[in-house]
Amino acid sequence: MAAGDLTHVYSGKVRELYRMADGRLLFVATDRISVYDHIIPTLIPDKGRVLTQLSLWWFEQLADIVPTHLLALDVPAEYEGRAMVCEELAMLPVECVARGYLTGSGLADYSRTGGVCGVSLPEGLVDGSRLPEPIFTPATKAPQGEHDENVDLAAVAATVGSAVADDLRRLTLAVYARGEEIAHGRGIILADTKLEFGRRPDGTIVLADEVLTPDSSRFWPATEWEPGHAQASFDKQYVRDWLTSPASGWDRTSGEPPPPLPDEVVERTRAKYVEAYERLTGRQFA
């Protein structure tokens, strides 16, 4: 297959989507990184390869829970290692989020309402607290450059129907439970994760896009977990922290795009992604 046989369909924050001559889709993970709904003007070397290889590994671990959109890996040579051939699905307009720990937008919701996405939680929780049990906290899928908004299960049901909403909740929590169990065995806390699902023409719900990667999940080293403040992480939190520090000179509320990343931040972010891959899979990244 040659790249010239592809028709470009869509550019996301990180991925490029192409249609192949036979109608199948080619998902290509670039080295772009997005934070706070902005695409950062600096690439993270090997990031796309890490995301793709880690997603492929997780697809294997989740095969008994939910079908995935993966069809094959016969991709053009220039995309080798960072692309996969996938079936076309009718994507469901819901960001399916599972949380086992309180942080990020979930913490902000809890501070305002005492719960997250309509799910009531005990008093006294702090940043990094483990929840009594994992919860489904969906969000709207906002256009690129805009911010997803947390919603409750009823809002999902109003969008896709109550039966599909219940299936999304069940599958999201099942994927989180498997991921949390495996990560825990590798000394990693899976704090939360975001999934995307689509449907086949027969109505089957299928796991799509990426899964349980440092882009779509918060991974924390278990030995350093200490509720009450932001946690050390294996995800892009390092980039978020630099951007909101005085060193970046960027005001998140200014409306201006974020600045390029310095070499040290790029190198440390790449190392975080690679370490997450190697610790989770037990394989050496090459």
pLDDT at site 4: 64
Question: What's the rounded mean pLDDT across residues 265-286?
Answer: 95
Length of the chain: 286
Residues of the chain with CATH 3.30.200.20: 3-86
Q: Is the pLDDT of residue 1 over 60?
A: no
Q: Could you report the per-residue pLDDT of 207-233, keeping only the tens digit for each?
A: 999 999 999 999 999 999 999 999 999
pLDDT at site 3: 60
Looking at the DSSP bridge assignments, the partners of residue 34 are 39
Q: Could you report the per-residue pLDDT of 71-98, keeping only the tens digit for each?
A: 999 999 999 999 999 999 999 999 999 9
Crossing angle, helix 263-281 and helix 47-61, to 10 degrees? Answer: 20
- pLDDT band at residue 199 under the 50/70/90 scheme: very high
Q: Could you report the per-residue pLDDT of 125-135, keeping only the tens digit for each?
A: 999 999 999 99
Is 3-86 a CATH 3.30.200.20 domain?
yes
Sign of CA dihedral 153, 97, 137, 170: positive
High-pLDDT (> 70) share of the chain, %: 97
CATH no. for 90-238: 3.30.470.20
pLDDT at site 5: 85
Q: Is the pLDDT of residue 206 over 90?
A: yes
Question: CB 115: neighbour CB atoms within 10 A?
Answer: 16
Looking at the DSSP bridge assignments, the partners of residue 220 are 189
Looking at the DSSP bridge assignments, the partners of residue 70 are 86
More confident residue, 199 or 241: 199
Cα dihedral angle (180, 185, 188, 193), rounded to 10 degrees?
-20
Q: Is the pLDDT of residue 175 over 70?
A: yes
Amino acid at 187: G
Residues of the chain with CATH 3.30.470.20: 90-238
- Closest C-alpha to 46, from 26, 27, 32: 32
Mean model confidence pLDDT for the chain: 94
